[in-house]
Homo-oligomer: A and B are copies of this chain.
Amino acid sequence: MTTSTRTTVHRIATDSPADTRGLVQLIESNALDPATVVAVFGKTEGNGCVNDFTRGYATERLQNLFASHIGSDAARRIAMVMSGGTEGVISPHLTVICRERSAQPSAVDTQALAVGVARTPELAAHDIGRRAQIQAVATATAQALQQAGIDDPDDVHYVQVKCPLLTSQKIREAQTTGHAVATTDTYKSMGYSRGASALGVAVALGEIEAERAQDETVLEDMNCFSAVASASAGSELDYCEVIVIGNTLSASGDLYARHAVMQDAIDAEAVRQALAADAPGDRVVQLFAKAEADPSGEIRGRRHTMINDSDINHTRHARAVVGGVIAALAGDPTVYVSGGAEHQGPSGGGVIAAILSRG
C-alpha cells in the first residue's frame, strides 16, 4: 500500500470540566490539527452518576471549540466520550484521538493503531436496556470496525460505547405514551444501558451468538459479556456512539494497542499484562479500564461493603479502587477508568487497554 492511515493520541490535563486551554495550545502550536480529530475521551470530575452535569459541560465546551475551527457540522461528527467520576487519584484529563491519511506506506508486517467511529440512530426511552439497543450497537460496531480497517476481531483491543440513560422526565414521557421502560430507577437505568451496549459489542465481535442477546439477557445472564467493551452512560445524548480501537496492517505510525481482562478490581497481574510492551523502549501513552463493585458482594472470597453503601454509590468506590491500582502499577494517575462494567468483562472485572508508543 502506498499510503496509510495514521492515528495519533494526545493526553491533556484539565483544570475543570470547562478547561480546554491545553487543547487550544496544541491546536495553536500546530501540534494537533482539529480537522483530524475523530474522538475525545474525557474524565470529568462529577459524580459519574445521574445528576452529573460535568459531562455535558465539557462536551459543550469542546464542541464549541472544535466548531470554531472546523465548523459545527464537522465538530458534531467527533465522538465525545466524557466519563464522570475522578474518585481517588484519577486526574481529570482529555484524550484526543486523531486520524489522518499518511503518505508513508504502512509496514508490511507490523500492525499499528487504528480507530473507527460510528453512531446508532436515536433510541426511544423504552428501547434503552433492551434488545433494540443491543442490535443498534452491534450494527454500529460493525461499521466502526470497517472504518478502522480491522478485519479480525482479535485485533480489537477496546470498544468504547457512550450511551443514554433514563431520567425521571424520560420515564414519565414513556409512561404517558403507554411504553414500559426497562427500569423506573434512574440510577439503575445507567446499568441497563451500559449492559445492552456491551452485549451489542459482543454480538458484533462474535463473542456471543446473536440469539443470546435478548431483553432477558440484560443484567441477568452475566456469563454473556464482551472482553473488550467499555460503556459509559450519560444524560447528554439520546443515541449510542461506538469507538473501536485496535491494530491493523493498513495503518502506520508508532502507536499500537494491547489489552488484558481484569478478573476483579484488584487484578494486578492483568494490569501488568496490559502494560507489558512489545519491546523494552516502548512507553505507555494512555490506559483505559472499566471498574465495577463485584455484584456478588465479595472479592477474593472476602466481603466488601460497596453495594450496601447508601452514602456513596458503588460505581464511585469501584473507580477509586481500579484507578488507584492502575495508577500505582503504571506510576501515573492520569488514567481513563469508567464505572459500571455490566456485561463488560467477567462479573466484577473488566477490560484494561493500553496504547503504547514504540521506542
Residues of A with Cβ closer than 8 Å to B? 13, 15-18, 45-47, 49-54, 56-57, 60, 86-92, 167-169, 172, 184-188, 235, 265-268, 271, 295-297, 299-300, 302-313, 316-318, 320-325, 327-329, 331-334
Contacting pair A327 B266 (CB below 8 A): yes
Contacting pair A18 B92 (CB below 8 A): no
Contacting pair B305 A51 (CB below 8 A): yes
Question: Min CB distance, A211 to chain B, in Å?
Answer: 24
Kindly report how many copies of this chain are found in the complex they form together: 4
Report the Cα distance A306→B320, complex, angstroms: 10
List the B side residues contacting A45 at CB < 8 Å: 51, 53, 305, 309
* 12 CB-based A-B contacts, threshold 8 Å: A17-B57, A47-B311, A51-B310, A86-B304, A168-B296, A268-B328, A268-B329, A300-B332, A302-B332, A302-B333, A302-B334, A321-B327
Question: Min CB distance, A255 to chain B, in Å?
Answer: 22
Question: Min CB distance, A121 to chain B, in Å?
Answer: 23
Contacting pair B51 A91 (CB below 8 A): no
For the complex of A and B, the 4 pairs showing the least CB-CB separation, nearest first, are A49-B310, A321-B324, A168-B297, A320-B320
What secondary structure prevails in chain A residues at the interface with B?
loop
Which of B302, B310, B324 contacts A13 (CB under 8 A)?
A: B302
Report the Cα distance A300→B49, complex, angstroms: 27
Contacting pair A310 B53 (CB below 8 A): no
A16, A167, A313: residue with the most chain B Cβ atoms closer than 10 Å? A16
Question: Min CB distance, A90 to chain B, in Å?
Answer: 8
List the B side residues contacting A51 at CB < 8 Å: 45, 305, 308-311
List the B side residues contacting A235 at CB < 8 Å: 16
Which of B15, B186, B300, B317 contacts A88 (CB under 8 A)?
A: B317
Report the Cα distance A332→B300, complex, angstroms: 7
Known: A88-B321, A89-B321. A53 touches B168 (CB 8 A): no
